[in-house]
Structure 1
Amino acid sequence: MAIADLSDIDHIEALLQASARAGAAMSYSEILLALGHRFTRPKMRALCNVLDVVDRRAAAAGQPELAVLVVREGDGLPGQGWWVGRDAPVDSWTGAAARALVAQIQQRAFDYWGKAPA
């Protein structure tokens, strides 16, 4: 497997679009592995920086956000950076309300990319 540059926005965006077409989220470990990297915190942080760019590009194109598809294995929710970017209070980052919000936003991506040509 070729190792992808963690700053290759187009490649990471395409992976997330494919994930959305498949109707599935990816854990941080899964997306890093798909890029040819093992999980480390520095690599995860580098990925998170790219996820912010991917979402800004999606917003500019009138598309649903995609960073919400990258989640922690333990609880299936996005990490702290995603929540901080939403100006959400810390006590709203977990639990049933958080899962419902994430599911709603993920569904927008699934619906949009499930209908978009590949």
Structure 2
Amino acid sequence: MSEAGLLADPQEVRAILVAAAKAGEAITYSEVLSFLGHHFSRPKMRQLCKVLSYVDDEAACRGEPELAVLVVRQSDGLPGQGWWIEGAKAHAYTGLWEGPKAQKLIRKLHKAAFDYWRERS
């Protein structure tokens, strides 16, 4: 995927997500957009998802854990549909995108990112 036409510089988004991982915290879509100088809107969130996909593709090439999973909905602390479409498949997860099983998977992935980046602080 090319960086051209993305909402934000993937390196800037990566830096925001690495900082969140080092702090051991998930971050909401609204917070990421705010850091990038945007107000939350559904179109902006969808554009952000394209950048998140790019960031994760690059992380995979470096052997790093995914970071897009750290970006969650304010309402329930879970990633949105954009992450689940590819993320669930990547983790062979076939359950619901909400509820206890989804939360268990996301906690596991958050912990992997938190542990990885905490060790690199």
Q: TM-score, normalised by structure 1?
A: 0.90
What is the match of residue 74 of structure 1? 75
Further displaced range: 5-14 or 67-76: 5-14
Match in the other structure for 1:96? 100
Q: What residue in structure 2 maps to residue 115 of structure 1?
A: 119
Q: 2:117 and 2:20 mapped to 1: Cα distance?
A: 9
Residue 35 of structure 2: aligned partner: 34
Give per-residue Cα distances to partners, 1:62-86, cap 9 Å, x unaligned.
Answer: 0000000000000100000111013
Paired AA for residue 45 in structure 2: M
Q: 4+ runs of 1 displaced by more than 3 Å?
A: none
Distance in 2 (CA, whole Å) between partners of 1:110 and 1:17 is 9
Q: Provide the secondary structure at the position in 1 that maps to 2:19.
A: helix
**Hey, what does 1:60 align to over in structure 2?**
61
SS at match of 1:78: coil
Structure 1 spans left out of the alignment, 5+ residues:
none
Residues 56-114 of structure 1 show CA distances to partners (whole Å, capped at 9, x for unaligned) of 1111100000000000000100000111013354x520000000100000100000011
Question: 5+ residue gaps in structure 2?
Answer: 1-5
Deviation at 1:10?
0.5
In the alignment, what sits opposite 1:46?
47
Which amino acid in structure 2 is aligned with residue 31 of structure 1? V
CA distance in 1, matches of 2:62, 2:14: 13
Following superposition, the deviation at residue 7 of structure 1 comes to 2.8
Q: Percent identity?
A: 52
Q: Pairwise CA RMSD of aligned residues?
A: 1.3
Under a length normalisation based on structure 2, what TM-score does the superposition of the two structures give?
Answer: 0.88
